[in-house]
Structure 1
Amino acid sequence: MAEYFLKQQYPQLNIESAGISGLIGHQADEKAQLCMQRLGIDMQSHIARKLNAEHIKKADLILVMSQNQQKHIEQIWPFAKGKTYRLGHWQNKNVPDPYQHDQAVFDETCQLIQQCVADWKPYI
């Protein structure tokens, strides 16, 4: 969801999404697609990819959902330090993973992601 909010906010930038785990090669969860669709954002074309060193090298900024993800990335790829931040950095929040939860949790997470993306505006 964050990728699509960022693409909407910054169409001139190259924004990509990749995960450190999860259902690589699969579409976004239907509940995620639904909450984005309600906001007029189509993410049906999204296919999950696995994060790798090339993604890290070419990125100017890496936004993750949690402190654990940040630590994991910086541990595996030490050169990611200084450009890896939590999406919720400015609110000092982790974004919870709504996977395998009901639509209400996806909707709450979607709203939090939208707020966190807006917080980055002065810095991107």
Structure 2
Amino acid sequence: MCTGNVCRSPMAEALLVHYVAHLGLDATVISRGLAAPVGRPPHPHAVAVAQAHGVPLHPEKRAVAVSSAEMALAAVVFVMDGSHRREVQERFPTASGKTFLLGQWQGEDIADPINEPLPAFERAWQQCEKGAQEWVKRLHEAGMLRAAA
């Protein structure tokens, strides 16, 4: 999940940070999980795919559980699939109106590639990339993301 924008995937977080910076916008993007083991590093395939695309995803990053305070502060929350969205809405009812699928504009859920081979991570990267690009563009056009000072 991604807040301030909250996001659940380290790959999605890396892409959102990349596109926000690329456009010179001001936003805080953090990745938080609903059930990921706290302290778990990103999967080596996720790090490899990000590096292959020239986007930093640091292997020393660690999984962190989402808190109620972070959800309350988030302007937008991105999730990867419908089940994550339902779980967020059940656990954090006040986040319901600001929780969206990262792949909404492509009309798709993004499957978690954990325990899958490298090509599954590449597929998820491509889907996250399309979603991140479109969301950053739309949030900027809506005035929710402004130029960095």
Query: TM-score scaled to structure 2, two decimals?
Result: 0.79
Identity across aligned pairs (percent)? 23
1:4 paired with 2:14, answer yes
Corresponding residue for residue 41 of structure 1:
55
1:26 paired with 2:36, answer no
- Whole-angstrom distance in 1 between the partners of 2:54 and 2:37: 25
- Whole-angstrom distance in 2 between the partners of 1:60 and 1:33: 27
Q: CA deviation at 1:123?
A: 2.5
Higher share of residues assigned strand: 2
What pairs up with 1:1-124 in 2 under 5 angstroms? 1-11=11-21, 12-44=26-58, 45-120=60-135, 121-124=137-140
Query: TM-score scaled to structure 1, two decimals?
Result: 0.95
- Whole-angstrom distance in 2 between the partners of 1:6 and 1:43: 11
Query: Which 5+ residue runs of structure 2 have no aligned equivalent?
Result: 1-10, 141-149
Structure ranking higher on relative contact order (CA contacts 8 Å, 6+ apart):
2
Q: CA deviation at 1:42?
A: 2.2
Which letter maps to 2:49? C
Which letter maps to 2:77? I
Runs of 4 or more above 6 Å deviation:
none
